[in-house]
């Protein structure tokens, strides 16, 4: 009887070790799979042009861009961190929240509302520069998209505003897309009734225009 009890205990102990080992294997491969399946996370930080103001669900810039990149074979997730009405000041204030803990890349689209509100270009420049410095310190690559001032702001304002983006991109060695609304701005067929915000077709053109820049940005 005693020997039988010893054998039972030994067998039970052996089962425990096997079970522990099996659990370890499951956890190990689960972690490996999680890392293998982890998509590249791109955070699009911007204003209503990023947020998708007035667009049907799924037609905003981040969603269309993600679909276009996945069609090219990129395993990416493009997070929409756009806030309608946001200025560069607001973007700077919410930067940490927008980035979260695991941003791999950032597309920075801010400045349109600064120009529409006539905010002094030196303020816009300072805010964008602070954002770029934070991203640089965090080692997060950034694709900066340029914006142009509306013509009614006057020649001096337009000159000072428009040069902010290429100069900052050069200074901080950021990837640069010259004008977010290229081939879409001022085209009634590609904009909503306010003639400011692109419609779904307009966003599609923006994505198609930017896609080669974003591809190079990710691949570098």
Q: What are the residue numbers of the active site?
A: 48, 194, 197
In what side-by-side order are the strands of the sheet with 40-46?
76-82, 40-46, 105-109, 142-145, 175-177
> Using the 8-state DSSP alphabet, how is residue 151 labeled?
G
* Cα atoms in the 13 Å half-sphere on the side-chain side of 181: 22
Residue 52 DSSP symbol: T
Query: What angle separates helix 121-137 from helix 164-171, to the nearest 10 degrees?
Result: 30
Q: Give 142's contacts (C-beta < 8 A, 6+ positions apart).
A: 105, 106, 107, 108, 132, 135, 172, 174, 175
DSSP, residue by residue, 162-174: HTHHHHHHHHTT-
Hey, CA dihedral for 133, 136, 137, 141, is it positive or negative?
positive
């Amino acid at each position: 009887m005693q020997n039988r009890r010893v054998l039972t205990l030994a067998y039970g102990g052996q089962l425990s070790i096997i079970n522990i080992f099996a659990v370890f294997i499951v956890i190990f491969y689960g972690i490996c799979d999680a890392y293998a399946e982890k998509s590249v996370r791109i955070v699009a930080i911007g204003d209503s042009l990023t947020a998708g103001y007035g667009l049907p669900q799924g037609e905003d810039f981040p969603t269309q861009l993600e679909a276009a990149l996945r069609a090219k074979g990129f395993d990416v997730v493009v997070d929409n961190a756009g806030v309608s009405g946001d200025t560069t000041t607001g973007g700077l204030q919410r930067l940490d929240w927008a980035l979260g803990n695991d941003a791999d890349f950032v597309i920075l689209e801010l400045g349109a509302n600064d120009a529409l509100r006539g905010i002094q270009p030196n303020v816009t420049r300072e805010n964008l520069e602070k954002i770029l410095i934070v991203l640089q310190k965090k080692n997060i690559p950034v694709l900066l998209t340029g914006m142009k001032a509306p013509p009614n702001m006057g020649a001096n304002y337009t000159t000072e505003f428009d040069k902010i983006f290429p100069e900052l991109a050069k200074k901080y060695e950021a990837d640069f897309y010259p004008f977010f609304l290229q081939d879409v701005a001022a085209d009634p067929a590609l904009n909503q009734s306010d003639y400011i915000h692109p419609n779904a077709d307009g966003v599609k053109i923006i994505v198609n225009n930017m896609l080669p820049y974003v591809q190079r940005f990710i691949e570098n």
